[in-house]
């Protein structure tokens, strides 16, 4: 039986050597994706078109913003520095590889849809300035917290929930037949971050963490990325590439796996001290 860490490592080598993933690993991924999509959207009402999808997404984001999870309030008001280091540790697998998995989606989008995606990617990589690349902002944070900056260390110590979150994007970008899953999840994520990362910004302020740019930059830039997400969706719709059902399935899967990774990391931080 595989873990999500095994699948994450297989996904990383899939980027270097396509089609290298063993069949039984693919079966593990497929069974997990089927199960997760069924669980998150099996009972959900589906949007009829893009306009309806946009309304449903906006309503979902508003409802979530009005109902802050206890884990987010804990981070904003109570987390101490050692606990915060564990939280940073648990998301390092994502922060240290930030946005790299999005590259393979590019040729799968129509030309019109590639442009907003490309603008988003340019920001992720610091608009060409390595100092501002989001991964380097994460590295600055790790350094200030006196933590290691090598990915392999975090692969060894992280809980499975962060790998599951990352594996979702690998599946959406590399194997889902329809890119609507990915663009739905991406647009959800970019829209919720400015509100959701507020708890990290507050924690940094309270704890006197200077290298808060990883979080404060996302609060600022993801508002623009959300708008780019909607431009991708519009272009896909115009080009006949948009499935409202699959985009919505992507939203619900993304929401579920984002929140379970966050909750698992906060829970781990409550009773662990980062290395």
Binding site for Fe ion (CB under 5 A): 124, 134, 190, 222, 225
Instruction: Determine the number of helices (DSSP H) and then strands (DSSP E) in the chain.
Output: 14, 0
Distance from C-alpha of 197 to C-alpha of 194, rounded to nearest angstrom: 6
Q: How far is the CB of 219 from Fe ion (least distance, A)?
A: 10
Q: Minimum CB separation from Fe ion for residue 226, in Å?
A: 8
Q: Write down the least CB distance from residue 69 to Fe ion, Å.
A: 21
Among 235, 214, 234, CA closest to 94:
214
Residue closer to Fe ion (CB basis): 6 or 98: 98
**How far is it, in rounded angstroms, from Cα 120 to Cα 7?**
27
Q: Cβ closer to Fe ion: 123 or 237?
A: 123
Q: Secondary structure of the chain: what % helix, strand, coil (to 5)?
A: 75, 0, 20
**Minimum CB–partner distance for residue 199 and Fe ion (Å):** 17
CA distance 57 to 72: 21
Nearest distance from C-beta of residue 120 to Fe ion, angstroms: 6
Nearer to Fe ion, 15 or 219 (CB): 219
Buried/exposed code over 59-86 (b: 16+ C-beta within 10 A; e: otherwise): ebbeebeeeeeebbebbbeebeeebbbb
Closer of 46 and 213 to Fe ion (Cβ)? 213
Choose between 32 and 224: whose C-beta lies nearer to Fe ion. Answer: 224
């Amino acid at each position: 039986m595989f873990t999500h860490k095994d699948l994450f490592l297989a996904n990383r080598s899939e980027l270097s050597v396509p089609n290298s993933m063993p069949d039984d690993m693919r079966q593990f991924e497929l069974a997990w994706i089927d199960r997760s999509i069924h669980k998150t959207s099996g009972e959900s009402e589906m949007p009829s078109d893009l306009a309806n999808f946009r309304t449903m997404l906006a309503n979902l984001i508003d409802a979530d913003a009005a109902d802050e999870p206890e884990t987010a309030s804990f981070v904003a008001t109570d987390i101490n520095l050692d606990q915060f280091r564990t939280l940073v540790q648990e998301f390092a697998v994502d922060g240290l590889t930030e946005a790299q998995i999005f590259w393979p989606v590019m040729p799968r989008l129509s030309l019109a849809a590639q442009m907003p995606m490309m603008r988003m990617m340019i920001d992720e990589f610091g608009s060409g300035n390595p100092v501002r690349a989001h991964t380097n902002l994460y590295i600055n944070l790790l350094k200030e917290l006196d933590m290691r900056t090598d990915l392999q260390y975090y692969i060894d110590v992280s809980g499975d929930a962060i790998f599951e979150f990352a594996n979702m994007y690998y599946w959406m970008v590399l194997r889902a037949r329809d890119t609507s899953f990915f663009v739905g999840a991406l647009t959800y994520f970019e829209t919720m971050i400015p509100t959701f990362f507020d708890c990290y910004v507050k924690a940094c302020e309270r704890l006197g963490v200077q290298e808060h740019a990883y979080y404060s930059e996302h609060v600022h830039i993801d508002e623009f990325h959300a708008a780019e997400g909607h431009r991708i969706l519009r272009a896909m719709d115009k080009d006949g590439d948009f499935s409202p059902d699959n985009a919505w399935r992507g939203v619900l899967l993304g929401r579920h796996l984002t929140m379970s990774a966050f909750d698992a990391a906060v829970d781990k931080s409550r009773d662990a001290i980062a290395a």
